[in-house]
Amino acid sequence: MDCHVSTLKHQRTSVGSMNRLDHISKLPNEILVLILDKLPMEAAVHTSLVSKRWKNLWKYKSSIDLGYSWIHKTHKSVLPSLFEVLQAHQAPRIQSISVALRHDPSMFFEVGLLMAYAGWKHVEEIYLDMNDREDNRKRWTRRHPFVFIPQHEIGPCSSLRKLSMKFLQLETLPPLRFMALRELLLEHVMLFHDSVERITTNCPSLDLLSLWNCNPTTDLMIIVAAGSSLVHLIIKEELTEVRSKTELFIRAANVKTVEFGLALPRKEYHLEGTLQCSELTFRLNQMHHSRQALRVTSSGLRGNFSKNFLGILNDFRAGKVLTLSSHQKSRGGVARMSHAPPTK
């Protein structure tokens, strides 16, 4: 009997200690939703099993992200699950939607529905990956490295501020009309000769354009529309992704800052027209010494890509600020260099 009473006292003491230590339950719902925003979507949905209070909290998340992690842990497809989540969502707006897909010819109509829903929910950021590299399920090979989406599938979204698209082939772009879009990030996207010009014409508020490994097997033409408000142009290309026999053409009269990232792998770089660029940045992380890509010596620049580097500098002679940084493994660690404005 005494043993039973002592056991009950110990249980009550433990429960009391747990209640005193359960500070999370004392937080308002708004704070709990902010915490859920930091969790992956599958983990946030799983919190609905904690208690009645937590049952519907995940439905107020401001960010929705679905990809291979969702498939691996829930054994459900991405797009059907996405629309179930969107249908259950109860908040008046969604800050961002991130979707990573594997190629499926039937997904184009659903992508159009996603853009329409994004406009209704006042979504500000969309991240769309059409070839999820983390999807390592068996019985699937990436036969479609670049997915072609018909023109009518990408509709307008007045609330959109940031758009990221990966592994797409954009043929003509009059429908890509986002009046409030500020940032556009394109990775592994096949662009035609007038694609950038159409984008900068149809997105009048565009401030930043980032092109990462675009047109890796063909020449890349970057023509910014004359009346565009584009300020920042970022070009990132990897040595292992972009063919060395291709060329890059830039015509951007009003752009203020241009950044080249990772490497300069193409055969030639052509800068046409008068650029008003005042700041030029090179973040050549892949220009390491083992490839003999670019080296700064006492006698000048040496390396396989020194010609491209000097050619770009010559075209940007009117620039006021030049920054050159590289990440190079050596005894001294990371090497960073900053240089004065280019001279003739």
Q: Model confidence over 95-124: pLDDT tens digits?
A: 999 988 776 666 667 777 787 788 888 899
How far apart CA 16 and CA 26 sit, in angstroms, is 15
Which pLDDT belongs to residue 184?
94
Which pLDDT belongs to residue 330?
40
- Residue 86 to residues 36, 65, 144, 153, 248, Cα–Cα distance (Å): 16, 11, 28, 19, 41
As a whole number, mean pLDDT of residues 35-47 equals 91
How far apart CA 130 and CA 70 sit, in angstroms, is 16
The predicted-structure confidence for 51-81, as pLDDT tens digits, reads as follows 888 999 999 999 999 887 887 788 888 878 8
What's 178-231 look like in SS3? CCCCCEEEEEEEEECCCHHHHHHHHCCCCCEEEEECCCCCCCEEEECCCCCCCC
- Higher pLDDT: 152 or 301? It is 301
Which pLDDT belongs to residue 121?
85
Scored b (16 or more CB within 10 A) or e, 127-151 reads bbbbbbeebeeeeeeeeeebbebee
- Higher pLDDT: 61 or 311? It is 61
How far apart CA 94 and CA 233 sit, in angstroms, is 28
Which pLDDT belongs to residue 177?
76
- Residue 327 to residues 45, 242, 322, 330, Cα–Cα distance (Å): 40, 20, 17, 9
Question: Residue 336 pLDDT > 50, yes or no?
Answer: no
How far apart CA 223 and CA 25 sit, in angstroms, is 55
Q: Which two tokens stand for residue 44?
A: 């946030």
- Residue 42 to residues 52, 71, 82, Cα–Cα distance (Å): 18, 9, 11
- What pTM, to 2 d.p., does this model score? 0.79
Question: Contact, 209 vs 189, CB < 8 A?
Answer: no
- Higher pLDDT: 316 or 122? It is 122
Residue among 211, 317, 314 nearest 261 (CA): 211
As a whole number, mean pLDDT of residues 141-155 equals 50
| Residue 339 β-bridge partners | 322
Candidate from 95-104, 223-232, 235-244, 295-304 with smallest mean pLDDT: 295-304
As a whole number, mean pLDDT of residues 248-263 equals 89
Residue ranges of the alpha helices (H) in 59-178? 68-74, 78-88, 107-120
Share of the chain above pLDDT 70, in %: 72
Which pLDDT belongs to residue 209?
96
As a whole number, mean pLDDT of residues 311-316 equals 83
Question: Residue 234 pLDDT > 90, yes or no?
Answer: yes
Q: Mean pLDDT across the chain, nearest whole number?
A: 77
Question: Residue 159 pLDDT > 80, yes or no?
Answer: yes
Which pLDDT belongs to residue 36?
92
Reduced to 3 states (helix: H, G, I; strand: E, B; else coil), residue 116 is: helix
Q: Which two tokens stand for residue 289?
A: 């010494």
Angle, CA of 185, 190 and 194, to the nearest 5° = 90
Count the helix, strand and coil residues of the chain and give each as a percent rounded to the nearest 5.
30, 25, 45
Which pLDDT belongs to residue 146?
54
Fill in the amino acid letter for 296: V
Residue 5 pLDDT class (50, 70, 90 cuts)? very low
Question: Residue 88 pLDDT > 60, yes or no?
Answer: yes
Which pLDDT belongs to residue 154?
57
